[in-house]
Amino acid sequence: MIDTLLPFLPAFAVAWGILFVGASSPGPAVAMLMGLALGQGRTPALIACLGIALGSATINVLTILGVGLFLSQAAWAMMLLKLAGSAYLAYLAYGAFRKAIHPPEIAAQTVARQSSPALFAKGYLLQVTNPKAIAFWLAIAAIGATANAPLWIIALFVASCAVLSFACHAAWALALSATPVRAAYLRARRYVEGALGAFFAFAAFKLATSRI
C-alpha cells in the first residue's frame, strides 16, 4: 500500500501547498469567520469551519470527476488546464503584490446568532459558491495529483485536503477571536501579502513549466 502511495506524494505535496496558501489567504471566508468569532465566539466559528471543509471537499470531488472526464477526451487538455491554472496563480500573485503595496481594510461581516446546523450550512454554502475556491481547485487539478490513482488514494487525497482546509480556517477562527493576534496580523498584512505574492508567482512558474 505504501509503495502504491509513494509515487503520488510529490504531486500531493504541491497540491497541499497551494491549498494551504489559498485557504490561509484572506477572503470571504475569513470575513465571515471574523464576524462569527467576534459576535458569537470560537465554537460557532469552528462549526462554520466544518461546513467550509465539507464544501472544499465537494468542490475537490467535482473537480476530480469533471477534469478527469475532460482530460480523457483530448490529449491537449492537460496543457490547456496547466496554462489556465498557471495564469490564475499569476493573477493571484499580482493581486497579492498589489495588496502588499496598498493593504485594503478587512471588515468583519455582521452575523446574527444562528443554530449549529445553520452555521454549518452557512460555511458550506459560502465555500461551494465562492469563485476563488473553485478557481483554486481548478489550479490544483491541473497538477494531476490523482491522475491514474486507485480509488483509495483519491479518497485519501480528498480527506487530507478537507482536514487541511478545516485546519487553516480553524486557525483563522481561533486567531481572530483574540484581539492582540488580530491587531498583529493587521499590522503585518503588507509582509503577509508580499510573501503570498512570491509563493503564487513561484507556483505559477512551476505549473507552467512542469512536464505534461
pLDDT tens digit sequence for 37-72: 766 778 888 999 999 999 999 988 888 887 655 555
CB 14 within 8 A of CB 29: no
Ordered DSSP codes for the chain = -HHHHGGGHHHHHHHHHHHHHHHHS-SHHHHHHHHHHHHT-HHHHHHHHHHHHHHHHHHHHHHHHHHHHHHTT-TTHHHHHHHHHHHHHHHHHHHHHHHHHSPPP--PPP-----HHHHHHHHHHHHHT-HHHHHHHHHHHTTTTTTT--HHHHHHHHHHHHHHHHHHHHHHHHHHTSHHHHHHHHHHHHHHHHHHHHHHHHHHHHHHHS--
State the pLDDT at residue 48.
Answer: 92
State the pLDDT at residue 160.
Answer: 94
Domain count across the chain: 1
How far is C-alpha 93 from the chain's CA centre? Answer: 15
C-alpha cell at 192: 503577509
In the chain, the largest separation of any two C-alpha atoms, in whole Å, equals 53
State the pLDDT at residue 161.
Answer: 93
Q: Give the chain's residues under pLDDT 70.
A: 28, 38-39, 67-82, 84-85, 88-89, 92, 103-113, 131, 181-183, 185-186, 192-193, 196, 200, 203, 206-208, 210-212
What pTM was computed for the model?
A: 0.68
How far apart (Å, rounded) are the C-alpha atoms in residues 8 and 137? 18
Task: Calculate the average pLDDT of the chain.
Answer: 77
State the pLDDT at residue 192.
Answer: 67
State the pLDDT at residue 63.
Answer: 83
Closest by alpha carbon to 150, among 10, 50, 8? 8
Residue in the block written with cell 480556517: 169
State the pLDDT at residue 196.
Answer: 66
Domain of 111, in residue numbers:
2-209
Give me the amino acid identity at 114. Q
How far apart (Å, rounded) are the C-alpha atoms in residues 60 and 148? 16
Closest by alpha carbon to 206, among 138, 133, 143? 143
